[in-house]
Amino acid sequence: MASQKITRVGVIGAGQMGAGIAEVCARASVDVLVYESTRELAAAGRSRVMRSLDRGVSSGKLTEREREQAAWRLRFTSDLADFADRQLVIEAVVEDEAVKIAIFAELDKVVTDPTAVLASNTSSIPIMKLGMATQNAARVVGMHFFNPVPVLPLVELVTTLMTSPEVSERAEDFARDVLGKQVVRSADRSGFVVNALLVPYLLSAIRMVESGFATVEDIDKAMVLGCAHPMGPLRLTDLVGLDTVKAIADKMYEEFKEPLYSPPPLLMRMVEAGRIGKKAGRGFYQYDAK
Ligand code: 3HC
């Protein structure tokens, strides 16, 4: 059966990544249904998207009318059964394998169109594990976006030994032609291309702080001024979330057993203390409450 153009997308999770993915889909004139488990989380997700759309208007990238139209295209639900008519579902929940596996098993039952694509925005969990939670691993791919999603133009497309070429092509066409992203392909290895390179760098910066090698501010300043990075590694760790960086590092360590992927104790202690970065108001830096 020939698959139709994707116009109905589902996004599971409205945290910083899910909200960003929902926003770029809505801005690309796609009908978007977003899942959050409670009304409160759905309301928080909608305000995250609205804040970012407002920012688009104030920076002159969006007109007021485009903001309103994008907002109308976004609906929220707490019932996965509502995803039955979706042609593409992108899962973007917390980086927890058991949670993602349960979601893929459920989505597989609900989304009955065999040409529909089930994608995960996971940073580090092998896509095969999610595919094998379904009855049809051929329609499961990785579509990995970058934070902030409205700003960063990359999507890593991850296919498994089971993903069908039609499904990977459909996902790639959507990311490139509808969302206007650039796509790189990665093998199904924990961390894919970007995090396999980025995470050891972030962990090394945390080890430098831990050993008193240099201050947080100086490490960041060194990489911004010395290497022209847009932000230093510790501010970037705050942006990604220390909990997420730790979860990715744990998965990569599990896969490769390389010491350079193992989370340093300072990272573990900060996560235990709830100092998980910008979203919590405190990480390596302090942030104003939004
Ligand atoms: N939503 C929408 N737009 C945003 C935004 C957001 N959350 N944050 C910034 N922007 C826009 C601004 O409106 C501004 O647009 P303009 O130039 O048209 O006015 C532009 O981005 C630049 O923003 P600012 O001037 O406020 O700030 P900066 O110039 O310092 O840029 C940044 C902020 C875009 C976050 C930049 O510092 C950056 O790109 N940092 C690196 C981020 C990065 O490496 N992300 C990847 C993380 S890894 C990942 O996500 C994978 C995961 O698996 C871990």
Q: Tell me which residue has its CA closest to atom 22 in ligand 1.
A: 151
Is 262 known to be catalytic?
no
Cα end-to-end distance, the chain, whole Å: 48
Q: In this predicted complex, what is the ipTM?
A: 0.92
Contacts of 255 by beta carbon, 8 Å cutoff, 6+ apart: 126, 189, 190, 191
Strand order in the sheet with 8-12: 74-77, 31-35, 8-12, 88-91, 117-120, 140-144, 154-158, 182-186
How remote is the CA of residue 250 from the centroid of ligand 1, in Å? Answer: 26
- C-beta 150 within 6 A of ligand 1: yes
Is 144 known to be catalytic?
yes
- C-beta 197 within 6 A of ligand 1: no
Is 121 known to be catalytic?
no
| pLDDT over 60 at 80, yes or no | yes
Q: Which helix (H) or strand (E) holds 113?
A: none
Q: What is the best residue among 49, 151, 237, 250 to mutate for testing ligand 1's pocket, by most ligand atoms within 8 Å of CB?
A: 151
What is the spatial distance between Cα 221 and Cα 176, in angstroms, rounded to a whole number?
34
| pLDDT over 90 at 284, yes or no | yes
How remote is the CA of residue 231 from the centroid of ligand 1, in Å? Answer: 9
Q: Tell me which residue has its CA closest to atom 51 in ligand 1.
A: 146
Q: Tell me which residue has its CA closest to atom 17 in ligand 1.
A: 59
How remote is the CA of residue 239 from the centroid of ligand 1, in Å? Answer: 9
Mean pLDDT value across residues 221-240: 98
What is the spatial distance between Cα 241 and Cα 235, in angstroms, rounded to a whole number?
10
- What fold does the segment set 8-186 form as a domain? Rossmann fold (3.40.50)
Q: Tell me which residue has its CA closest to atom 44 in ligand 1.
A: 236
Q: Domain boundaries in the chain?
A: 8-186, 196-280
Annotated catalytic residue within 156, 168, 172, 190: 156
How remote is the CA of residue 148 from the centroid of ligand 1, in Å? Answer: 5
**pLDDT attached to residue 1:** 54
| Confidence class for position 4, pLDDT limits 50, 70, 90 | confident
Predicted model pTM: 0.95
Percent of the chain clearing pLDDT 90 (strictly above): 97
Is 123 known to be catalytic?
yes
- C-beta 240 within 6 A of ligand 1: yes
> Residue 35's Cα: distance from chain center in Å?
15
- C-beta 57 within 6 A of ligand 1: no
- C-beta 58 within 6 A of ligand 1: no
Q: What is the tens place of the pLDDT at every residue in 238-283?
A: 999 999 999 999 999 999 999 999 999 999 999 999 999 999 999 9
CATH 1.10.1040.10 fits 196-280, yes or no: yes
- C-beta 231 within 6 A of ligand 1: yes
What one-character DSSP code corresponds to residue 191?
T
| Confidence class for position 2, pLDDT limits 50, 70, 90 | low
> Residue 199's Cα: distance from chain center in Å?
15
